[in-house]
Amino acid sequence: MQYVKLEDLVSYIDLEPIFYPADVQSRIYTPEIIRPGLQMAGYFDWFSFERVQVMGRAEMFYLSTLDEDIRKQRLDKFFSYPIPALIVANDMAIDELLIYYAKKYKRPVFKSNQKTDKLVNILINFLEEELAEETTLHGVCLEVYGVGVLIKGKSGIGKSETSLELINRGHRLVADDAVIIKKLDNNLKATCPELTQHLMEIRGIGILDIKHLFGVGSIRIEQFVELVIELEEWDQNKEYDRIGTDEDYTDILGIKIPTVVIPVRPGRNTSAIVEVAAKNYRQKLLGYNPLETYNRKFRGLYN
């Protein structure tokens, strides 16, 4: 099961530790956040204690209005659950009783100067991405005319060489060889392993640092994948699509991505074909399909 370490969350959001026991290794398994107002009111049925807890002005002011004995009971019961962490928003002063019971049960407590709603949004966005379903694919990912393109194919087919030519034409590299794909809602976000970031391997030359060779404008840290280009060796016995009637898709983490199969042989300018495939995809998004235009003209001639 995927999880996020609490220290990674704290580092990302820059939280101020109020009580952070060194011997407690909290793990977060869900991107959902809870504001425990009902729990402060005494209702613990269906308490989602496995979520990160966030208190804002409403919860803290309500807590301050409670009789001290009731406040002790509520906080004692609240912290008796194995919550991963409590974060108090709006840079509010924290009740000494709250800190006492956090220490009693060794539950981490932090403070943030962010407003409550903004803090919740930051937490959810970070946790959703970190806990997203993930896979690593062999290929090259680039941004071509604003379209996230994943180039796949057998080893040695020319993926990196084609990609290098595309970068030389002004397009941007996301990842070469190993492409990390994360599923976010109905989108696929591609990133590169830290070890190979901005690097590309070209047979006969070796490892190239694309950022240093072509400048910062030649790379992207991440990109949503919208189109798959499948490179394969030309097979003279295979019938290839000539007018665009075939609609192929590649299933990645349950999402179907439009796919163009490009047969590779000497004399074909593969990088130019990839560019045209990206442009064609974009114009379809804008509502223009050249095949439909062709079909209308064809029917007009023979009807």
Which residues are known binding-site members for Mg(2+)? 160, 201
The token pair that represents 124 in the structure block: 């959810």
Structure-token pair, residue 200: 């590309």
Annotated catalytic residue 77: no
Q: Is the distance from CB of 261 to CB of 300 less than 8 angstroms?
A: no
- d(Cα 84, Cα 49) in Å, to the nearest integer? 8
On whether the CB atoms of residues 196 and 175 are closer than 8 A, the answer is yes
Would residue 177 show up in a list of annotated catalytic residues for this protein?
Answer: yes
Q: Identify whether 251 is a catalytic site residue.
A: no
Catalytic residue among 159, 171, 172, 189: 159
Is residue 53 within 8 Å of 87, Cβ to Cβ? yes
Active-site annotation holder among 152, 171, 177, 198: 177
| Residue in 270, 53, 256, 243 with CA at minimum distance from that of residue 159 | 270
Residue among 203, 242, 296, 297 flagged as catalytic:
242
Annotated binding-site members? 153-160, 201
Residue with tokens 């309500």: 62
Which stretches of the chain are DSSP H helices?
6-13, 37-40, 57-65, 68-80, 96-105, 116-130, 159-168, 210-214, 270-285, 290-302
The active-site residue out of 118, 138, 238, 265 is: 138
Residues in binding site for ATP: 153-160
8 A C-beta contact, residue 150 and residue 227 = yes
Catalytic residue ranges = 138, 159, 177, 242
